[in-house]
């Protein structure tokens, strides 16, 4: 059976590329934020498990791998 998954959204702008994968369900989650010279990463965590993320700058290139980690 087909089960739709949340989209992996990529916003390609020269000044601030973004990759966004919202959590699948409305639920209580913990945010883990990391920022360095390559960009920012915000992880949505439920019971220490990754359920969504937002990436900016060079970090946005990690989006495909993180999406597979959540939905494979």
Question: Among 33, 41, 43, 34, which residue's Cα sits nearest to residue 17?
Answer: 41
1 domain-assigned: no
2 domain-assigned: no
29 domain-assigned: yes
Q: Is the pLDDT of residue 69 over 90?
A: yes
- Give the structural domain span for 35: 9-71
4 domain-assigned: no
Residue 25 confidence class, pLDDT cut points 50, 70, 90: confident
Q: Which residue did the predictor score with more confidence, 68 or 6?
A: 68
- In this prediction, residue 9 carries a pLDDT of 96
14 domain-assigned: yes
Task: Supply the CATH number for residue 36's domain.
Answer: 3.30.390.120
Domain tally for the chain?
A: 1
DSSP state of 22: -
**Would you say the pTM of this structure is higher than 0.85?**
yes
């Amino acid at each position: 059976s087909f089960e739709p998954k949340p989209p992996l959204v990529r916003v390609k702008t020269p000044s601030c590329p973004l990759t966004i994968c919202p959590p699948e369900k409305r639920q209580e989650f913990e945010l883990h934020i990391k920022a360095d010279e390559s960009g920012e990463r915000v992880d949505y965590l439920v019971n220490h498990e990754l359920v969504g993320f937002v990436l900016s700058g060079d970090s946005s290139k990690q989006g495909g791998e993180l999406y597979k980690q959540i939905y494979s």
